[in-house]
Amino acid sequence: MKKWLKSLKTKTPQEGYELAITLSQKGVEYTQPSEAIRKKLRPKYAKDPDSLTAASQVIAINFQTVAAANNYWKDHVKFQ
């Protein structure tokens, strides 16, 4: 597979979250490399609430990794 992951560092927490989404999608892509098949699966998938929760869970796990890699962006101390 061509280069898609250069670093776990991101400038902001939100970019880190979006990187976690990419990591989650890549896990699917490596397992099912056919884009045609993945696209066909999408409609069913994206309308099943349990599938959506499961997707969010994988993102959450990857976000743990990205957040740790960025030391939780502790320089960005603006409170929510």
Neighbours of 4 (CB within 10 A): 10
Residue 39 engages its own copies in binding (rule: CB under 8 A): no
Residue 35 engages its own copies in binding (rule: CB under 8 A): no
Q: How far apart are CB 63 and its own copies at their closest, in Å?
A: 6
CA distance 53 to 70: 25
**Residues making contact with its own copies (CB under 8 A):** 1, 3-15, 17-19, 21, 23-28, 30-32, 37-38, 41-42, 44-65, 67-69, 72-74, 76-80
